[in-house]
Amino acid sequence: MNLKSLARDTAIYGLSSIVGRFLNYLLVPLYTYKIAAESGGYGIVTNLYAYTALLLALLTFGMETTLFRFSNKDGEDSRSVYGTVLKMVGGVSLLFLVTVLLLLGPIASAMGYASHPEYVGCMAAIVALDAFQAIMFSKLRLDGKPLKFMGLKFAFIIPNILLNLFIFYAMPAMFAAHPWVERLYVSFDSGVGLIFFANLACTALVTIGFIPELRGLGQRFDRGLARRMLAYTWPLLLLSLVGILNQVADKILFPHLMPGSEGMVQLGIYGACVKIAMIVALLTQAFRYAYEPIVFNGSRDKNSPETLADGMKYFIIFALLGFLAVMVYMPVLRNFIQPAYREGLGVVPIVMMAEVFMGIFFNLSFWYKLSDQTWWGALISAAGAAVMIAVNVLLVPHIGYWACAWGGFAGYGTAMTLSWLIGRRRYPVPYDFRAILPFVLLAAVIFAAISLPSRLGAEVSPWLQMLGGTVLLGGYGGLVFREIKKK
């Protein structure tokens, strides 16, 4: 395994993903300080973006992974593969958008947005564009162009942040001089609905940067190739859908399990607090962007199982480092959300550990992708999603958003365990548990040390807590450095 290449690309993809998400994360204090918790406005944002995540998985239908697999497969023309995938996803996305716009009224009513169907139409346009762009972003990863990948990500992020600042700071300042601006602002739930239109404008802007990649539409559509790819990808579609369900089903179901304004208020609190936990998800995403092309490009190599073993080890080590860093510096990070939302911060370690489980599951998933047994992934993910949904349905009416956190923990934990148990028989990988276990145990000890004072009700200065945590974190980092030097 080319560890230097993996580290370099992970750093670049991580810069676009982690720094980019961090800049977007700066919108969380903007939203929580400008959108009152009791209004439920942030619950609307959380709910609609959950739908877009699920629909994006549906519209890409596993074609990102399929593009990697078939572009490196013997006997396949990589240009024809890309052109065929781009046309398939583009066609499906266009059909989806037209259908939603034609049936906008009934769909918006069913989702609970009868008074604002424009929110649903706007989000449909966003997800259609995002799905189309996802294939072109995958092409950049396949071609080893992380810098352009990063540039286009920032081409969305920076204008989006500026537009949101305009919505919540500039527009209210214009009310006195321009009453129509105030009427517009109020009509969109005090600026909440304008968030979606800003997103759509920035997503459309990014498409301009893909002009070279759009030439793939000029490639001949290969029907035989399309059939072969669909045979490979349909289990990945199920895998992707149930995987996303594990992430967003709680946010989609919550208003139905706890109807009324209280449901949207609690969903807003949960949605704001889990943003802090997303740091671990960002690490997983950055690792995936760099790691997936390496694995598939080396899938003909007899040493591929060793590559998977190395990837798992380093993922767990660094994911736990991210987990600990968030917990150590929570006294600072908690200030990113308005005090009225902070009652939900207790779910953060649970959600972060669920994200670690998801990352481990992603690393485990290569055994069925490389052996073309992707239907196993669909079955395993479905089992995890069923557990997660069951926990939410049973517990949300009783413990509110805490059920969402524990549901994700149980769902990802189930998928991770099943994938390991089945994979060890069908595609044995020599995972280095002896090297991984000390890091897991040390992380558990550090987490206990950080959490113990508050659980005992002891008053500890946040600065003293962070100082002690930093020392412990430094010890963990030293072990990480020593492990890397072994390579």
pLDDT, one tens digit per residue, over 365-377 is 777 777 767 778 7
Q: How far apart are CA 362 and CA 239, in angstroms?
A: 11
Name every residue whose Cβ is closer than 8 Å to that of residue 413 and which is 6 or more positions away in sequence.
354, 357, 384
> What is the share, in percent, of the chain residues with pLDDT greater than 70?
87
Mean pLDDT computed over 55-77: 81
pLDDT confidence of residue 302: 41
Mean pLDDT computed over 246-271: 81
Report the run of H or E that residue 390 belongs to, with start and end: helix 374-399
Spatial CA neighbour of 133 closest among 102, 163, 155: 155
Most distant pair of Cα atoms in the chain: their distance: 71
Query: Which long-range contacts (C-beta less than 8 Å, at least 24 apart) are formed by 95-101?
Result: 96/55, 96/59, 96/124, 96/127, 96/128, 97/124, 97/125, 97/128, 100/124
Looking at per-residue pLDDT, the higher value among 300 and 278 belongs to: 278
Q: Which two tokens stand for residue 120?
A: 């649903």
Phi and psi (nearest 5°) for 45? -60, -45
Q: Which two tokens stand for residue 361?
A: 């599951």
pLDDT confidence of residue 214: 84
pLDDT confidence of residue 229: 85
User: For residue 419, how far is the Cα from the chain centroid?
Assistant: 20
CB of 327 within 8 A of CB of 466? no
pLDDT-based confidence at 224, cuts 50/70/90?
confident
Q: What's the chain's Rg over C-alpha atoms? A: 23
35 — alpha (psi -120 to 50), left (phi > 0) or beta? beta
Mean pLDDT computed over 209-223: 81
Mean pLDDT computed over 340-346: 86
Mean pLDDT computed over 357-366: 83
pLDDT confidence of residue 299: 47
CB of 168 within 8 A of CB of 34? yes
pLDDT confidence of residue 295: 60
pLDDT at 417 over 80: yes
Q: Which two tokens stand for residue 394?
A: 């049973």
Mean pLDDT computed over 470-481: 85
The chain-wide mean pLDDT, for the chain, equals 83
Spatial CA neighbour of 475 closest among 435, 443, 436: 443
The CA distances from residue 109 to 103, 114, 115, 239, 402, in Å, are: 10, 4, 8, 29, 28
pLDDT-based confidence at 1, cuts 50/70/90?
very low
